Structures are given as C-alpha cells and as structure tokens.
C-alpha cells in the first residue's frame, strides 16, 4: 500500500517535471515570435516613442539606450540575459522598469482574482445545490435561466451596466482612486467588489451548472440510498454524503476558471479603472510600447501555463483514479 502510494507520487512528479520541461520550447517560441514580429511591422520604434518632433540625434540616442542598432538575435539574447537577472526590460514610454511596474500592479490584479473566485464559489455552489435538490421545480428553472443568462451576457456590457445604472438611479459612483487594502480596507473593498462581482457572474454560472449535474449524479449513487434508508435526515444526507463528493469536480472547474478570470480581468480593469496587469497590457498595446509588451507576454505565458499545469495536477489529487502517463 505504502509503496504503491510512493510510486504514484513518483508518477505525478515525473509528469509535472515533463510538463515543466515542455514549457521551455513554448516560451522560447512565444518570445521569439513576439520580439521579431513586433520589429518587422512598419514604424521606427524611436519615432513611435519620441514623436515626430524629435531630432535625429534624439532618436539616435534612444536607439543606443535601447540597443536598437544591434542585430535582432543579439537583442533577443541580451533580453534573456536581463530576464534571468530579474529585469524584464524598460518601457519606452514611461521609461520605467517593466518588472517594477509589474510588481506594483500585481497585488491589484491578485485582489481582483481572489475576490472573483470568492464570489464565484459564493454564488455558484449554493445555487447549483439548490437547483439540483429542487430539480424540475420553478426554482430550478429560474436558477438555470439565471445561469444561461450569466454565461451569455458579455462581461464588459455587464460591467458597464453595473457601473452606470447605480449612477443613474442613486447617484452612486464607486471610488476612482486606488487605496491599498492595508491602508483602508473599506474604501479598498468598495472599489473592488463591483469589478470582482462582474467577473464572477460568468464563472459562477459555469460552476452552478456543474455543481447541479454533479449533485444530481451523486444523489443517484447507492451509498446515498443506503444513507437515506438508514433514516438519516435528508439535510444530513445532502451535506455529509452528497456535497462532500459533488464538490470534487467543482473545485477543479473553479481552478480552470482562474485562467478565464485573468483573461477577463483585462477588460474589467479598463472599465473600473483598476491599475492592474490587464490595464498595463492595454496601455502598452495602445502606446505600442514593445519592451513592455514583450515582458508582459513572457510573464503572462508563464503564469497561464503554470495555472494549466496546476489544474491538470489537481485532477489527480482530487480523483485518485486518474493516472498520469
């Protein structure tokens, strides 16, 4: 028994290591594509960054500063050298370090994500359970319609409505400035609850759907019938026997939703003016700030691939029947 467990653990570790190794060529591919394509498209980066009025001398100094006169492969390898020293490059617009900017903005996006996951679970799990227990009643249909609607409303439209309708009806505007949670928790949460809720509606609909079918499936199991036949109260059966098992796939889906939430956060940060990673990406694209874009692409690629790996690993952790090969 113990040796089997050890072997299984070893499998997971080999699998994880192989997946991590597979990330390397992908990351090289992504960064080469971005760095070369960004430079092939028309437009001199120096002119783009400095504007039309800059003199040729200014532009030349700029090219020197950013090593733009070197051949592309040299620039690319130099960039990796910097990356390994923890330097993701320097913005050509803000003239600030991309790594510092990321470090400063990361907590804001993380808070948005944590709150979104919280709302996702808070809405999705109970609604899914209720919908399953009251299967084919009016309440079930109502909750399922809510879920379909939640999946279909584009998050940017929902966000616009959640921001604007209270402004029309009650003259209510969420705070514009960004206050740290540690300085003023209430003001901070007042800024973050609406964007998080907006992000959570779509993913909670997915979670609700899965929770419902998961509960329905488990309620048909023999051990649930046994528990009922022993005369255990229905509430106890649901909580102790059904929910505990029904939650397993749902936890994984919530993990999968994190990647989707990060994707959605770009647009939500723009609507609610949250100074996070997504807004940084948008501003960089808008200004054609290629060192920032390149740094951000690397950062995001690593993050998303790690999330996907963690989700895949959690399948096996939650369901021991799954074997990694």
Partner 1 sequence: MSAINESVAIIAPQVVRRGPSRKRKLARIARQQPLGVFGLVIIVLLIVAATFAPLIAPYDPTSIEFSSFQSPGGSHLFGTDDKGRDVLSRVIYGSRTSLQVGIIATLIGAVGGAVVGLVSGYFGGLVDILVQRLMDALLAFPFLILALIMVAIFGNSIPKLMALLGTAIIPSIGRVMRGVVLAEKEKLYVEAARSIGVSVPRIMFRHILPNVAAAIIIVATSLLGTAILVEASLSFLGFGTPPPTPSWGADLSGNARVFFVHAPWMAIFPGIALSLVVLGFNLFGDALRDVLDPRLRNR
Smallest gap, in angstroms, from Cβ of residue 151 to partner 1?
A: 6
Site for partner 1 contains 94 (CB under 8 A): no
Give me the least distance between CB of 174 and partner 1, in Å please: 14
If binding is defined by CB under 8 A, does position 304 make contact with partner 1? yes
d(CA 73, CA 76): 5
Does 57 help bind partner 1 (rule: CB under 8 A)? no
Is residue 283 within the footprint of partner 1 (CB under 8 A)? no
Do 276 and 265 form a contact (C-beta atoms < 8 A)?
Answer: yes
Euclidean distance between the first and final Cα of the chain, in Å?
20
CB of 309 to partner 1, least distance (A): 11
Q: Interface with partner 1 includes 202 (CB under 8 A)? A: no
**Residues with Cβ within 8 Å of residue 90, at least 6 apart in sequence:** 66, 96, 97, 98, 291
Residue 4 beta carbon to partner 1: minimum distance, rounded to whole angstroms: 30
Q: How far apart are CA 65 and CA 260, in angstroms?
A: 38
Residue 189 touching partner 1 (CB under 8 A): no
Please choose, from the candidates 272, 16, 263, the residue with its C-alpha nearest in 3D space to the C-alpha of residue 161: 272
Is residue 10 involved in binding partner 1 (CB under 8 A)?
no
Window 22 to 41, contacts with partner 1 (CB under 8 A) = 22, 25-26, 29-30, 33-34, 37-38, 41
Distances in Å between the Cα of 207 and the Cα atoms of 64, 65, 148 are: 52, 50, 12
Assess contact for 30 and 298: CB atoms under 8 A: yes
DSSP state of 137: S
Q: Is 112 in the site for partner 1 (CB under 8 A)?
A: no
233/250 Cα distance (integer angstroms): 25
Q: Residue 231, interface with partner 1 (CB under 8 A)?
A: no
- Is residue 21 a contact point for partner 1 (CB under 8 A)? no
Which residues contact partner 1 by CB under 8 A? 22, 25-26, 29-30, 33-34, 37-38, 41, 148-149, 151-154, 156-157, 160-161, 164, 167-168, 213, 217, 259-260, 262-264, 266-267, 270, 281-282, 284-286, 288, 293, 297, 300-301, 304-305
């Amino acid at each position: 028994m113990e040796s089997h467990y050890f072997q299984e653990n070893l499998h997971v570790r080999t699998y994880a290591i192989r997946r991590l190794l597979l990330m390397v060529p992908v990351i090289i591919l992504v960064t080469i594509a971005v760095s070369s394509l960004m430079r092939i498209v028309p437009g001199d980066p120096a002119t783009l960054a400095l504007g039309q009025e800059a003199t040729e001398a200014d532009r030349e100094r700029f090219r020197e500063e950013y090593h733009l006169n070197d051949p592309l492969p040299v620039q690319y390898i130099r960039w990796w050298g910097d990356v390994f020293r923890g330097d993701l490059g320097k913005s050509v617009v803000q003239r600030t370090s991309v790594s510092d900017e990321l470090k400063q903005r990361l907590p804001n996006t993380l808070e948005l994500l944590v709150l979104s996951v919280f709302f996702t679970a808070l809405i999705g799990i109970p609604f899914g359970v209720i919908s399953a227990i009251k299967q084919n009643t009016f309440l079930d249909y109502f909750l399922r319609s809510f879920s379909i609607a939640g999946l279909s409303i584009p998050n940017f439209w929902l966000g616009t409505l959640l921001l604007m309708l209270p402004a029309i009806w009650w003259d209510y505007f969420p705070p514009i400035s960004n206050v740290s949670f540690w300085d003023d928790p209430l003001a901070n949460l007042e800024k973050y609850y609406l964007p998080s809720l907006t992000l959570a509606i779509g993913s909670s609909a997915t979670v609700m759907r899965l929770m419902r079918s998961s509960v329905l499936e488990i309620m048909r199991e023999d051990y649930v019938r046994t528990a009922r036949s022993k005369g255990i109260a229905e509430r106890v059966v649901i909580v102790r026997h059904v929910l505990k098992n029904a939650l397993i796939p749902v936890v994984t889906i919530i993990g999968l939703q994190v990647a989707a939430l990060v994707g959605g956060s770009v647009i939500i940060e723009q609507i609610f003016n949250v100074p996070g990673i997504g807004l940084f990406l948008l501003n960089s694209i808008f200004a054609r700030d290629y060192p920032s874009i390149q740094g951000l692409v690397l950062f995001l690629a690593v993050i998303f691939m790690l999330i996907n790996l963690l989700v895949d690993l959690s399948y096996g952790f939650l369901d021991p029947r799954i074997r990694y090969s």
